[in-house]
Every structure is written in structure tokens, then in C-alpha cells.
């Protein structure tokens, strides 16, 4: 993994200002001189940390297409590979192959597996540089702990995403081949670790990060704090079907956060000032990536890829399940009121604050997810009353007349999963949820759903464990990692 896309340690400081330029790719992984410079003190090391975060919303770091702009590009991929997001028309074609399940099986340079593998490998290399070197930096111990804790959490987050792209879900596949584990800025040939080994490393990193960040103040919402670490831990536990841990950590993570009201909900999900956001990227004007950006592909109100045919729409199937009076229904164009540029069911959840400006923040995590994780984990432990209380606390903020009092058992669990689909629509959960829930792909068809007259997704259904649920590993890894053999490729 490290050999695919590498970044010199000397490049870490410039990342703060300009991101990882092309000349930083395929360079030596480290030198004594650059390590001495960057980790001489915690001030320089903080710049390296900022550079790592900057990579999460930069364009052109691995792939050069306008569908590769960091974490939010892959959130779009995840939703398009699920059941609830529809592509309106051919448009300029960005993300359409993801929607059709062909991009994930392309092993060539620049294809989706290459960009995802390379993106997280690059982030991991930067995290490993920080983790390995920060202890020797001059500066307050608390600063070193904070920097190291954030880097450990980022590494865990990266491996969580990698293992969910490049293998089937955790449960039932613990001994299957996962991804190579790099815990130091080295480039030695490394084989695929098992799924269990990858999850063991994720949990170890999160446990260490939680200890290091506990009690540390949050400097900015673009940074990872202890609540975000706990939220990642809850996500991981949910996939592992460790319900008790998922409920406990989701509750910890949402502590201090209250579900936003309808006014904030209607503002366009574009600002880290939103009281429910736990982690996001503040994208200022001179760092905006313009057409190669999340809002370009989502907001049809602006002159961008979304408006030029690539509108993203909710299915009629899911839209009809949102009751009148629920603020979330207003996030989508009401059927019968659509226009050429903003058709029926078109999303309005994610909008530029000003259509003439590309400065809009990226959402990575918010507290609503944690309410839903906690409710689901409680329901799976047969704690129905507690699950209903948590669920109602969230959904009543969206729909004051909502009540979960009539739900119990399997019906309650299904209600929680429905609310999860509605609440987190467009935030990048569909593909991973489909895998962990083992439902297979089941895209609704007919008027307002997938297929004609909308863009044809080609693939409408397949069963759980289908080979397409695991991305192919890019050929570049086989070309450069001598620990890999042809048998290491996913089916």
C-alpha cells in the first residue's frame, strides 16, 4: 500500500498552504534531514498535522479527475452504490461508473480502486510519519499527546474505510484477506493482513487515541477530538456487531450535542458552525476546488456538474416514507414542481451558502449518526424502551409529532434503519450499511426511482456476498509490492 502513492516527509509542512503537489508523489518516504526539520518542535509538527487534514479535501492528490477531491468524493461513491440515490441524467459522466458498479472493478491507474487505495495510503503515510516521530519533538507533552492522538485516530479512520472497500463486511469474514498493515513510514513489501488483524489494529489505534486526547480541548472542528474518536469507535463496533460497545461509545460521542432544529437543518449542510457537526473541513475561498468539489456534484442550484445533468435525487420510494411535517422532506424537490435544472426529487440538502462562491464546508461526522447507532445497538440488545427514547430524541427534532411508542422488536429495528436512511441520506453511508446489514443491492424501480427516464444504473439487484461488494485491488499494488501474488486479487 505504501508503495502505490508516497509522499516525502519534507512535503508535510508545505501541505498546510498548498496541499500535496504532484512533484511530491513517488518520492522517498523519509530522510533524516526532513524529519529533523519537521519534528524539531511541536510548532512544526502541528503544521504537518494540518497538512494531513488538508489532504482530506484536496483535489488531484492521487487521481486527476473531477470526481477525486478527498473524503467527500468517496462519500458520494458510497451513496451512489447504494439503494437510495438516483442520477438524473448522463451529464458529464463523473461518478456514473460508480453508480453502475463498473468503476470498482477497474484495476488500472487512475480508476476508482487506484484513487481510493492511494488516497488512504497517502493519509496513512503522513499519519505514520507523525506517530513515529512526534515523541522526540521539543514542546509541551500535552501538545505531543494531542498531535499523536489525532494521527492515530486518522490512521484508524483510514483503515476502517480501506477494509470496508476492499473486502466483504467484518462479520463472517474475519479470516479473509484484508489490506496490508503499515504502522511505520516504511515501504517494505507487506502482504494482506486478515480482516481480523485490520480491525484489531483499528481498535488499538482508537484506544490509544482516546487516552491521548481525553481532556484535550478541541482547537477546531476540522480536527479530531476525543468525541470523534469515540464516534469512530462506535462505527467500528456497529460493523463488528459488538452492540454493547457500539451503544456505549455512541452515547459518549454524542454527549454535549443536541439535535439541530429545523432552521439549522434547512441551511444547506455547508458550515462547520452547525451545532450538530462533530468533524468537518472548513473550506475557504482560496482552498476551494471549484468544479472538482462535493457541492459541484451535489448542488443543482449553482452552475456546476449537478446542474448540467448530474443531479442527485432521492428515490420516490424513500421520499414517500418521509411524512408530511418532517423537515427532512423539504430537502428534496417536491414531485410535480421540478424544473429542467432542478427536477422532481432533486436533493436540496447540500447547498452552497452563496451560489457564486465555492467556499462551503465539508461534513465528515455529526451527532445524529451517533443517536442512530446507539438506538440500533440498544434495539439489537432487546432494550426497546431505551432505544425508543434515543430515537425519539432525534426524530422529534425533525418531526415534532413523531412517536416510536408503537414499535418493538423487529419492527423497532426496521424503523431505526429506515430513519438512518432518511437522516443520513447523501452523507456516505449507503454502501457500507448495505454490506454490514447483508441485504444485497435492491434498487427500487418505476417512476421516480432507478432507471428510465433517469440515467440507467445497469445494475439493480444482486445478493449479499456478491463479488462487487469488494473493490478490486489496483494493479499498481501488484506491480510494486512484491509480497503480493495474483492470488491476492479479490474475486
Report the percent of the chain where pLDDT is more than 90. 89
pLDDT tens per residue, range 248-273: 999 999 999 999 999 999 999 999 99
User: Can you give the residue range of the structural domain that contains 374?
Assistant: 9-265+363-488
Let me know if residue 285 belongs to a domain. no
Output the pTM of the full model.
0.94
pLDDT tens per residue, range 314-356: 999 999 999 999 999 999 999 999 999 999 999 999 999 998 8
Let me know if residue 317 belongs to a domain. no
Let me know if residue 292 belongs to a domain. no
For residue 123, what is the domain's CATH number?
1.25.40.390
DSSP β-ladder status, 461-462 and 441-442 = antiparallel
Let me know if residue 278 belongs to a domain. no
Range 430-456 average pLDDT: 97
Per-residue pLDDT for 89 more than 90? yes
Per-residue pLDDT for 54 more than 70? yes
Residue whose C-alpha is closest to residue 424's, from 364, 481, 474, 476: 364
Q: Give the count of alpha carbons within 13 A of 438, CB side only.
A: 9
Longest pairwise C-alpha distance within the chain: 66
Higher pLDDT, 13 or 303: 303
Measured CA to CA, the distance from residue 321 to residue 290 in angstroms comes to 34
Total structural domains within the chain: 1
Let me know if residue 275 belongs to a domain. no
Let me know if residue 387 belongs to a domain. yes
Residue whose C-alpha is closest to residue 321's, from 247, 237, 420: 420
Amino acid at each position: 500500500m505504501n508503495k502505490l502513492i508516497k509522499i516525502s516527509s519534507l512535503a508535510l509542512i508545505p501541505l498546510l498552504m498548498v496541499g500535496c503537489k504532484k512533484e511530491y508523489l513517488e518520492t522517498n518516504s523519509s530522510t533524516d534531514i526532513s524529519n529533523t526539520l519537521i519534528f524539531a518542535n511541536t510548532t512544526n509538527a502541528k503544521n504537518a498535522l494540518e497538512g494531513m487534514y488538508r489532504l482530506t479535501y484536496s483535489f488531484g492528490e492521487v487521481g486527476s479527475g473531477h470526481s477525486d477531491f478527498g473524503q467527500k468524493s468517496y462519500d458520494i461513491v458510497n451513496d451512489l452504490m447504494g439503494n437510495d440515490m438516483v442520477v438524473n441524467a448522463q451529464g458529464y459522466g463523473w461518478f456514473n461508473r460508480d453508480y453502475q458498479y463498473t468503476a470498482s472493478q477497474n484495476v488500472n491507474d487512475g480508476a476508482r480502486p487506484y484513487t481510493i487505495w492511494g488516497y488512504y495510503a497517502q493519509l496513512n503515510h503522513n499519519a505514520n510519519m507523525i506517530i513515529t516521530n512526534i515523541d522526540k519533538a521539543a514542546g509541551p507533552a500535552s501538545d505531543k499527546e494531542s498531535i499523536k492522538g489525532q494521527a492515530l485516530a486518522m490512521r484508524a479512520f483510514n483503515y476502517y474505510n480501506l477494509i470496508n472497500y476492499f473486502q466483504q463486511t467484518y462479520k463472517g469474514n474475519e479470516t479473509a484477506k484484508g489490506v496490508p498493515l503499515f504502522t511505520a513510514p516504511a515501504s517494505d513489501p507487506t502482504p494482506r493482513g486478515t480482516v481480523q488483524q485490520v480491525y484489531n489494529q483499528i481498535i488499538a489505534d482508537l484506544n490509544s487515541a482516546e487516552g491521548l486526547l481525553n481532556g484535550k480541548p478541541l482547537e477546531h472542528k476540522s480536527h479530531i477530538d476525543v468525541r470523534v474518536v469515540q464516534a469512530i469507535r462506535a462505527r467500528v463496533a456497529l460493523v463488528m456487531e459488538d452492540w454493547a460497545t457500539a451503544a456505549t461509545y455512541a452515547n459518549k460521542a454524542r454527549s454535549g450535542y443536541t439535535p439541530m432544529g429545523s432552521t439549522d437543518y434547512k441551511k444547506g449542510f455547508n458550515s462547520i458552525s452547525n451545532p450538530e457537526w462533530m468533524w468537518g473541513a472548513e473550506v475557504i475561498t482560496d482552498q476551494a476546488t471549484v468544479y472538482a468539489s462535493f457541492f459541484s456534484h451535489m448542488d443543482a442550484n449553482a452552475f456546476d456538474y449537478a446542474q448540467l445533468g448530474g443531479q442527485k435525487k432521492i428515490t420516490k420510494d424513500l421520499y414517500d416514507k418521509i411524512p408530511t411535517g418532517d423537515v427532512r422532506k423539504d430537502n428534496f424537490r417536491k414531485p410535480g414542481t421540478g424544473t429542467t435544472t432542478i427536477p422532481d426529487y432533486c436533493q436540496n440538502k447540500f447547498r452552497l451558502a452563496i451560489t457564486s462562491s465555492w467556499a462551503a464546508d465539508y461534513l465528515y461526522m455529526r451527532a445524529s449518526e451517533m443517536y442512530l447507532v446507539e438506538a440500533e445497538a440498544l434495539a439489537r440488545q432487546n432494550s426497546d424502551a431505551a432505544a425508543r427514547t434515543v430515537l425519539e430524541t432525534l426524530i422529534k427534532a425533525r418531526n415534532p409529532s413523531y412517536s416510536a411508542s408503537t414499535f418493538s422488536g423487529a419492527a423497532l429495528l426496521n424503523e431505526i434503519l429506515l430513519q438512518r436512511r432518511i437522516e443520513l441520506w447523501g452523507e456516505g453511508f449507503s454502501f457500507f450499511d448495505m454490506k454490514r446489514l447483508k441485504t444485497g443491492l435492491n434498487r427500487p424501480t418505476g417512476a421516480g426511482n432507478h432507471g428510465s427516464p433517469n440515467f440507467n444504473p445497469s445494475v439493480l439487484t444482486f445478493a449479499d456476498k456478491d463479488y462487487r461488494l469488494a473493490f478490486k485491488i489496483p494493479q499498481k499494488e501488484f506491480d510494486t509490492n512484491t509480497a503480493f501474488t495474483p492470488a491476492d486479487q479479490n474475486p
